[in-house]
Structure 1
């Protein structure tokens, strides 16, 4: 399917994705990848179309875009990388930042009394009445990555069959902006993120 695949990467760390793939990529404005994916897929339904987005991009700037695309049942796939922070733009607090987690814009930790709890995007989208495939997996260790490969393949299969919108959330790390070593970051994600962002399939099309 490589010859008929189009990826869409918005502003943020995701924008560098096209350096690592050998198929067509389109760059979108911050948060607007789902809108661009909608246009491409509707004009060329024969193409495999996916967005690759981070949490600052998707869960903040582009929340309206992803929710409405999912609610319309657009037949593309979204790969959502949740590392609990804005990455490329400077390590600011994101909608997914954990309670008491320190960032450049929450130096004393996320205050849930002030800004609310982290948003569980997979569960939010799964609550929509429109059929879809909604799943969350981690990419912290090799066994996690193997499981992630399987659900990503499943998501693309649903798109190939023109069955539904598909959404894969991947719990990841950001050692640089977390101020941790890679090993420390994996441990932190396992201890702090995974109990809150539970792994699993939240919606499967009938």
Structure 2
């Protein structure tokens, strides 16, 4: 007798991932789908995508999806949630989308306590548009627009969005996770699930920041990119739950 030990989550389509080899988006996309499956909310979800690598996600999630303008996912999701308060509305955004052009939208959505769930993918670069420096690019990190490395004196330090959003009263669950090890991947899925549960309980805004990799724009192998995340990203972007709600 054979047994199924692994299968594609029901919340995903049969479309193969088109992310670059070694890209962390594949792991994160699967983690989100698994959490949605475990909660049994697939048919009640409305997915709001971002622009950039995260903008590919509508190809993979088997649910109603809308793709707004760059950075406007929280504003679009707010409108959808207010029209359909019974739906689970969630955004999937990268750092160039959420922490740059969309900073005002995410901050004010949290401030208003919008009952949304946001998955924030931080890979320290503008992945799809050529690897430019992002608000989260580390000091000294080389990109196509910082070929000598990010200069703190002119560009400042990378923004820590989770710490920023955790100070806002309307935010009820804020966590930062990573995908560099199997243990961290399991923790990522748990945090994503809890962020969805926050919305299901009608408590307020929830966000999970996931540290990711971009081997293509970092100029590394997938294995080296995971090691670089462990050694460089996590020390500056510490993992943990910055704000939680009572069970």
TM value normalised by structure 1: 0.98
4+ residue segments displaced more than 3 Å: none
Measured on the aligned residues, the alpha-carbon RMSD in Å equals: 0.8
2:230 is aligned to 190
Gaps of 5+ in 2: 1-40
Gaps of 5+ in 1: none
Kindly indicate whether the alpha-carbon contact (under 8 Å) linking 2:100 and 2:135 is maintained by their aligned counterparts in 1: yes
Q: Does 2:62 match 1:6?
A: no
Once the two structures are superposed, residues 90-116 of structure 1 have per-residue CA deviations (whole angstroms, 9 ceiling, x without a partner) of 100000000000000000000011010
1:94 is aligned to 134
TM value normalised by structure 2: 0.82
User: What is the CA distance between 1:128 and its match in structure 2?
Assistant: 1.5
After superposition, the Cα gap between the structure-2 partners of 1:12 and 1:131, relative to the gap in structure 1 and judged at 3 Å, is: closer
Kindly indicate whether the alpha-carbon contact (under 8 Å) linking 1:54 and 1:80 is maintained by their aligned counterparts in 2: yes
Question: Secondary structure of the residue that 1:10 maps to in structure 2?
Answer: coil
CA distance in 2, matches of 1:32, 1:47: 19
After superposition, the Cα gap between the structure-2 partners of 1:15 and 1:131, relative to the gap in structure 1 and judged at 3 Å, is: closer
Kindly indicate whether the alpha-carbon contact (under 8 Å) linking 1:49 and 1:77 is maintained by their aligned counterparts in 2: yes
Once the two structures are superposed, residues 2-31 of structure 1 have per-residue CA deviations (whole angstroms, 9 ceiling, x without a partner) of 111011112100110011111111101000
CA distance in 2, matches of 1:110, 1:81: 20
Kindly indicate whether the alpha-carbon contact (under 8 Å) linking 2:165 and 2:171 is maintained by their aligned counterparts in 1: no
Aligned pairs for 1:53-72 (under 5 A) are: 53-72=93-112
Q: Which moved more, 1:19-28 or 1:110-119?
A: 19-28
Larger Rg computed on CA atoms: 2
Aligned length in residues = 206
Question: Secondary structure of the residue that 1:42 maps to in structure 2?
Answer: helix
Once the two structures are superposed, residues 30-73 of structure 1 have per-residue CA deviations (whole angstroms, 9 ceiling, x without a partner) of 00000000000011010001000000010001000000000000
Once the two structures are superposed, residues 161-180 of structure 1 have per-residue CA deviations (whole angstroms, 9 ceiling, x without a partner) of 10111000000100000000
Question: Secondary structure of the residue that 2:224 maps to in structure 1?
Answer: helix
User: What is the CA distance between 1:131 and its match in structure 2?
Assistant: 4.2
CA distance in 2, matches of 1:70, 1:83: 22
User: What is the CA distance between 1:204 and its match in structure 2?
Assistant: 1.1
